Amino acid sequence: MIQIIPAIDIIGGACVRLSQGDFERKETYDVSPVEMAGRFAAAGLRRIHLVDLEGAKEGRPCNLKVLSEIRSAVPLEIEWGGGINKEDHVEMALECGADHVVIGSTAVKEPLKFIKWLRKYGGSKIVLGADVRDGLVAVHGWQESSSLKIADILDRMVPEGLQEVIVTDISKDGMLEGPSVPLYTSLMAAYPGLTFTVSGGISSMEDIISLDSLGLPRVIVGKALYRNLITLEEISSWLQKG
């Protein structure tokens, strides 16, 4: 069964959602990140995806206090990303409670540094976050595009021990139009040894069930949860059936 991973995006210690990575198209929610994590845990979910959007924009972690608070409050497996570009940042995230550190821009712009971290911490802790726009990988909180395709990065990192990849189709993110199924099925076929997480566009339980039928192992759900297009009751019921 596909693993559903709810997202909590953070700016200024608050839960927010962006549309297509645009900081000018921000929605802020009343519920705190800690309270939201508690709701996810109560629904039977086991892993959450935390994004320090402020950190991604600034190039340094900005909301590690929130990570520590969630770690203390709930027994969930935590993915943490946003602004990780120094080894000190990796260490701080792990010390504050992250089980997995998601790294994107550094893997694109400083691949030798990313390889060093992969070798030191292992592929279960260092996760590649590949954010794709028009076939190219974007960096710095999606504010600029690189000249690299995702395959260019994967071909280099797989031999170094890469195990997990979160792939976000920026054109779909926050748009509630369904995921880019061909993108994920083609990647899964080309790199059968990697665990891919679908991110972007999830709008309904039907989207999740369809991805599950295709054998995709993980999916991140964000705005659809916050807008009640997918409810925690639906997810809990589906998990119990599975």
pLDDT in tens, 162-201: 999 999 888 766 566 789 999 999 999 999 999 999 998 8
First to last CA, the chain: 7
Tokens of 117: 């971290």
- What is the C-alpha to C-alpha distance for residues 188 and 5, in angstroms, rounded to an integer? 18
- Hey, what are 236's tokens? 């809990």
pTM of the model as a whole:
0.93
Q: Give the active site residue among 22, 30, 52, 131.
A: 131
70 has pLDDT over 90: yes
Comparison of pLDDT for 161 and 30, the residue scoring more: 161
Q: Exposed e or buried b for every residue in 173-185, given b needs 16+ CB within 10 A?
A: bbebebbbeebbe
Alpha-carbon Rg for the chain in angstroms = 16
**Domain residues of the chain, as ranges?**
3-241
The count of other CB atoms within 10 Å of the CB of residue 23 is 15
Please tell me which residue in 9, 52, 173, 207 is annotated as part of the active site. 9
| 3 state SS of 32 | coil
Q: Which two tokens stand for residue 134?
A: 């028009």
String of DSSP letters for 1-15:
-PEEEEEEEEETTEE
pLDDT in tens, 126-176: 999 998 887 788 876 555 566 789 999 999 999 999 999 999 888 766 566
Structure tokens at 93: 């995230």
Closest of 42, 43, 44, 50 to residue 71, by C-alpha: 50
52 is catalytic: no
For range 46-55, the mean pLDDT: 95
Task: Specify whether 9 is catalytic.
Answer: yes
Average pLDDT (25-33) is: 84
Is pLDDT at 120 greater than 90 in this prediction? yes
Q: What is the mean pLDDT of the chain?
A: 91
What is the CATH code of the structural domain delimited by 3-241? 3.20.20.70
